[in-house]
Amino acid sequence: MPAASRHVERAIRAIATRSSGSAGSRALRLALPLLALAACSTQVNGSGSYGQVRYDGLPAVHGVRLDGKIGQMEVRVGVASAGSQSVVLSGDENIVHYYVKLAVTPDGILLANLDGVDSVTPTMPLRIDATVVAFDTVDVTANASVEVAGAAADTFHVAADERSTVKLAGSGGNILDATLEDGSRLDARSYPATGVQLDVSASDAVVTLATSVPVTGQASGTSELQVFGSVTGCSAIALTPPATCLPAP
C-alpha cells in the first residue's frame, strides 16, 4: 500500500476507534472512500515547510545513485576524517520524512529512492549533504537530474542513463570516467580533470568538459562533445559519425 494510503488508513481507524456502536460503523463507512482514493494516489506535492533527516550510522559512502522517479536532486560533498561521516537529506518536510528514503549498497553507494509513491513535486530543492571520507561515483537512472558540488577524486565515475542529466563541479582530479546513454547530459566544465575517458554510444547525448589533455575513449550515434581548455582536446577520441567533438580553448 502506498505511504499516502497508510497515513489515511491510520486516520480512519482512529476515527472508528474513538466512536462506538453504529456511530463508529457509520464513520468508517463514510471514510472508506477516502482510503480508496488515497490508494490510487501516486503523486505527492511538497508541503512548503523545510525539513531535514539525518542518516546516522550508515556504512561508509563513496557515491550516490538517484532514482529517476525523484526527478531532480542536489548533492553537496564535504571531506570527513575517518569515522566522522555525515549524511543529511533536506527539502520539503513531508517529502524527506515520508517519501524519499536513503540506503547504502554493500559496495558503498548511497541509494535515493521513492517510497510508496510514483513521483513527488517539491516546492524547494531536494538535497543531500554528504560529508564523507571519499566520494567518487554518480549514477543516475532514466529521467533523473543531479547536481554535484564539491566533487574531488583521483578517478571519478559518472553513469548517466537515458534522458538523465549530471552537472559536476569541484576541484577535480586525475581521471573523469563517464558513460552516457541516449538523450543524457553531462556538464563537467566546473570539474577540471587531467584525463577524461568517455564511452558515449548514444543518440542526442551532450557532453561538455574541461581538461588540458586530449579526451580518450569513443563516441558514436548523434552525440555531441565539447572540450574546454585544450585545442587538441578532441584529437585522441574515436568518433563514429555523425558523432562530433569540438575543442573550445
**57 and 37 share a domain?**
no
**Whether residue 19 is found in the same domain as residue 107:** no
Instruction: Give a yes or no: residue 166 inside a domain.
Output: yes
Q: Is residue 110 in a domain?
A: yes
**Is the domain of 140 the same as that of 22?**
no
Query: Do 189 and 166 lie in a common domain?
Result: yes
Q: How many C-beta neighbours within 10 Å does residue 40 have?
A: 9
Same domain, 114 and 25: no
Cα–Cα distance between 152 and 210 in angstroms, integer? 14
Q: Are 211 and 186 in a shared domain?
A: yes
User: In tens digits, what is the pLDDT along the chain, a chain of 249 residues?
Assistant: 444 455 444 444 544 454 455 555 555 554 454 454 455 558 999 999 999 999 999 999 999 999 999 999 999 999 998 888 999 999 999 999 999 999 999 999 999 999 999 999 999 999 999 999 999 999 999 999 999 999 999 999 999 999 999 999 999 999 999 999 999 999 999 999 999 999 998 899 999 999 988 999 999 999 999 999 888 899 999 999 999 999 876
The DSSP secondary-structure symbol of 46 reads: -
* Beta-bridge partners for 127: 74, 90
29 and 59 housed in the same domain: no
The answer to whether residue 47 sits within a structural domain is no
The count of domains in the chain is: 2
In a domain, 46, yes or no: no
> How many CB atoms within 10 Å of residue 37?
12
Q: Give the residue among 148, 98, 239 at the shortest CA–CA distance from 158.
A: 148
Q: Measured between alpha carbons, how far is 82 from 42 in angstroms, rounded to an integer? A: 40
Quickly count: other Cβ atoms within 10 Å of residue 38's Cβ: 19
Question: Domain span at residue 18?
Answer: 3-41
CATH number (domain holding residue 174): 2.160.20.120
